[in-house]
């Protein structure tokens, strides 16, 4: 704080405390005209309600005086009076540093133990699950939901169904969190409206959903000549590309006919941000274990 601002703050403090002290000392001694019945003469509701006049109670005076003395003591001990650092030399940065150090002292042994295990092994550890859930709620729940069931409107996948776009091993999940992922489904409106409708029927047929067999048959060669490059000839997807499996009844952007037609016609684009700038490697390791746990809830402590 510059000297000018320091002096301005000191002036405001002295002014406010001076006014408060004046009112505190003057108030109990002020002579206010009153009626014989100890009212001021102000009345409402045709005299039913009259304004009374009573001296301040002693407990209020003692309490107010002690609070005023406490305020002065605070400004002596702590920062607040311009650039005065306080006799205790307390700072919010210093308190935060102490709190972080105390927290790290508790966490470090725990994290060192976590590092001894793979993501798959750590997924069954109750302490890792508890810490991982906090990390998930703070960083991932905005898209994937607190229950990790995903959000089709955002294209955020369900993490509890063991269906993975980029692989579900501990290493794959760690990479997804650390580096992020980006997937693009190009729009195929250029194929024509009827072809888009036929392809939607064929996609429904891949997952065994009710469909128009004639339209699906017409789209099969187009799918195998165009879509199979990413989704595979059998429609089971390619994890290296993040192309979803179209045969398992699990839909990233919705599985209704309208949803599928929109996906084919307009394309889709998804982005999973990288978290290595926000989270430490230890945090990512524990978070990956938690994500593995929510899709493998039966994994016990190892």
For the annotated binding site for heme c, the residues are 140, 143-144, 185, 227, 230-231, 272
Query: Which residues, 6 or more positions from 259, have their beta carbon under 8 angstroms from its beta carbon?
Result: 251, 253
- What is the distance between the alpha carbons of residues 236 and 206, in angstroms, rounded to a whole number? 9
Site of tokens 């108030």? 27
Binding region? 140, 143-144, 185, 227, 230-231, 272
CB atoms inside a 10 Å sphere around CB 16: 11
């Amino acid at each position: 704080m510059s000297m000018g601002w320091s002096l301005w703050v000191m002036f405001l403090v002295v002014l406010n405390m001076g006014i408060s002290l004046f009112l505190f000392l003057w108030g109990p001694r002020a002579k206010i005209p009153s009626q014989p019945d100890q009212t001021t003469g102000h009345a409402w509701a045709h005299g039913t309600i009259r304004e009374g006049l009573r001296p301040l109670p002693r407990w209020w005076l003692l309490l107010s005086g002690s609070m005023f003395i406490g305020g002065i003591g605070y400004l002596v001990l702590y920062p607040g009076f311009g650039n005065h650092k306080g006799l205790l030399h307390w700072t919010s940065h210093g308190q935060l540093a102490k709190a972080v150090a105390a927290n790290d002292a508790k966490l470090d042994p725990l994290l060192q133990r976590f590092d001894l295990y793979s993501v798959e092994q750590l997924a069954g550890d109750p302490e890792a699950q508890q810490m991982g859930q906090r990390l998930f709620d703070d960083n991932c729940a905005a898209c994937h939901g607190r229950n990790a069931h995903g959000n089709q409107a955002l294209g955020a996948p369900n993490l509890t169904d063991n269906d993975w776009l980029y692989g579900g091993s501990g290493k794959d999940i760690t990479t997804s969190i650390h580096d992020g992922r980006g997937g693009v489904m190009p729009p195929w409106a250029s194929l024509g409206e009827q072809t888009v409708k036929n392809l939607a029927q064929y996609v429904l047929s891949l997952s065994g959903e009710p469909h128009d067999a004639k339209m699906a048959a017409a789209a099969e060669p187009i799918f195998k000549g165009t879509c199979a490059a990413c989704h595979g000839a059998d429609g089971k997807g390619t994890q290296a590309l993040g192309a979803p499996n179209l045969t398992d009844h699990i839909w990233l952007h919705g599985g209704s006919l309208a949803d599928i037609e929109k996906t084919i016609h307009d394309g889709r684009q998804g982005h999973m941000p990288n978290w290595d700038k926000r989270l430490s490697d230890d945090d990512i390791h524990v978070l990956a274990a938690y994500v593995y746990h929510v899709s493998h809830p039966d994994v016990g402590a190892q």
